[in-house]
Amino acid sequence: MDILFVRHGESEGNAQERMQGLSDYPLTDRGREQARRLSVWLDAHGLSWERLYASPLKRAWVTAEVLAGDRGGTPHPEPDLREIHAGALEGLTFEEIAARHPRYAERRITELGDFAEFGGESYESVQSRARGLRERLEVAHRNTGDRVVLVGHGGLNYQLLKMLVCEPVPRVNIVRMGNCSATLVRMRERRGSYMGELVWHVPVELMGGTSGEGAARLFR
């Protein structure tokens, strides 16, 4: 089974540098252009798939619609691809977070990914959600040789990616997933373990587009 991770195109929340989480921001014009660039790039490299799953949040769903529509298909909704719930931090810029919730702004990188303190998802809950999604994908596609596409978000995609390629799963393993980046993981049996190999990771800039992002902040 091959898994192609896609992060959504630029959203209005991205453009305003806001913590999004479950807040349902739509794509910007740049975000739609990024999705089209990605679609053209995948086609030019002969990358097809058997199934395309997408987060139901608008920024991911519309990105998936562009990819699927160009090929005469439709995305399949997967609620567990939704972004990590950031609780009271959602909708705030980093400066607003620093003013209202300095504890989060001061966290070390090893403490990120857990939003329980702010009314959002805990790290353990996110890991459980990612494991459940992985298990369902394996049941459906493990022995088929399928390529599946997961159109989601920087936070959840990152957690799922490191779960597939690392054993044991580290708390931190930095991979920058910019808007409309594409990441291919090949799942194979390896000495009794079913693990992934990171084959390639391509940002939208190498597809002829522009990211529009400044300094990246995790789980924005």
Residue 116 covered by a domain? no
* Per-residue confidence band for 71, with pLDDT thresholds at 50, 70 and 90: confident
Average pLDDT, integer, range 178-193: 94
What's the confidence (pLDDT) of residue 219? 46
Res 143: pLDDT: 87
Burial of residue 131 (CB within 10 Å: 0-12, 13-18, 19+) is: middle
Judge whether residue 217 has pLDDT over 60: no
Name the pLDDT band for 209 (thresholds 50, 70, 90). confident
Region 36-58: what's the mean pLDDT?
96
pLDDT tens digits along 124-178: 999 999 999 999 999 999 989 899 999 999 999 999 999 999 999 999 888 999 9
- Indicate the pairing of strand 147-152 with strand 51-54: parallel
Confidence tier at 220 by pLDDT (50, 70, 90): low
Catalytic residue, candidates 83, 85, 90, 121: 83
pLDDT-wise least confident of 53-62, 83-92, 204-213: 204-213
Of the two residues 191 and 58, the one the predictor is more confident about is: 58
| The pLDDT of residue 185 is above 50 | yes
**Is 158 within a domain?**
yes
Share of the chain above pLDDT 70, in %: 96
Considering the domain boundaries, does residue 105 fall inside one? no
* CA–CA dist 220, 14 (Å, integer): 7
Structural domain contains residue 27: yes
Does residue 101 carry a catalytic annotation? no
Q: Evaluate whether residue 6 is within a structural domain.
A: yes
State whether the Cα torsion 149-160-76-136 is positive or negative: positive
Q: How many domains does the chain have?
A: 1
Residue 45 belongs to domain spanning? 2-85+129-187+195-207
Answer whether residue 212 shows pLDDT above 90. Answer: no
In a domain, 118, yes or no: no
Q: What is the CATH number of the domain that holds 10?
A: 3.40.50.1240
String of b and e for 133-163 (b: at least 16 CB within 10 Å)? Answer: bbeebeeebeeeeebbbbbbbbbbbbbbbbb
Has 83 been annotated as catalytic? Answer: yes
Query: Is there a domain that residue 124 lies in?
Result: no
Q: Is residue 93 part of a domain?
A: no
Give the residue with greater pLDDT, 71 vs 54: 54
Residue 216 has pLDDT above 50, yes or no: no
- 101 is written with which tokens? 């919730």
Per the prediction, the chain carries an average pLDDT of 93
Of residues 209 and 195, the one with the higher pLDDT is 195
